[in-house]
Every structure is written in C-alpha cells, then in structure tokens.
A = this chain, B = another copy of it.
C-alpha cells in the first residue's frame, strides 16, 4: 500500500470521535474489544467495526488470547502523519517568513525615501 493510501486511511480513521477516543484509551495500555466497548452506548459490533478501521489504517494490531482479541496501539503510524503535517507547515511558514522579509524591505526602502 502506498503512503498516499495509508495517509488517507489514517486521516479517515481519526476523523471519527469514537475512534480517536479508542486510540486515546489504548495509550493507557492494551485492551480487549469488550473492555473498549463498555463505555460506549453503541453495540459491541459497532466498536468491533471501528477497530477494524483502525487496524486497516495500521494504527492498531489485534492478537489472539483464547476468545479474546487484545488490541494494541501502533504508535509508529503517527510518524507518517506528523511528517506530512510538518512538511507543509514548514513550507507555509517559510513562505510567510519570505513575505515578512519582503515587507520589511519595503518598509526599509520607504523609510529611506522619507529620510531623503
């Protein structure tokens, strides 16, 4: 799967508040589907689906422990997002500083004109 593809899935996965909440809770430690589902009003199946989305995005892995399926957060995927965000944030900020520099120059040359 391409990075583009992965990025789409990761962003889409985190667009849902319930899934963001699941990720948040998983930073506290691994948990089973039942444990994760308990706090929510929705059915267990719905949570199971959410977990599948997170898994397909690579944010989470599910192992086997008898009937249980402990869910584990894969923090590395965050890096992909961070890299994307930082790349464009940087570009944008560079552009602004160039703009600032330009405005400064403009102001300087005007000050010179005023002085002359």
Contacts and interface: CB of A to CB of B under 8 A. Distances in A.
How many copies of the polypeptide does the oligomer hold? Answer: 2
A3 to B, nearest CB: 11
Given A78-B88, A92-B75, A16 B8 contact: yes
Interface residues on A, range: 20 to 34
A17 B8 contact: yes
A96 B75 CA distance: 10
Interface string A71-109: 001010010011011101101110110000000000000
A4 interface: yes
17 contacts: A7-B14, A8-B15, A11-B11, A11-B12, A11-B14, A11-B15, A12-B15, A15-B15, A26-B92, A27-B88, A27-B95, A28-B95, A73-B92, A75-B92, A75-B96, A78-B85, A85-B85
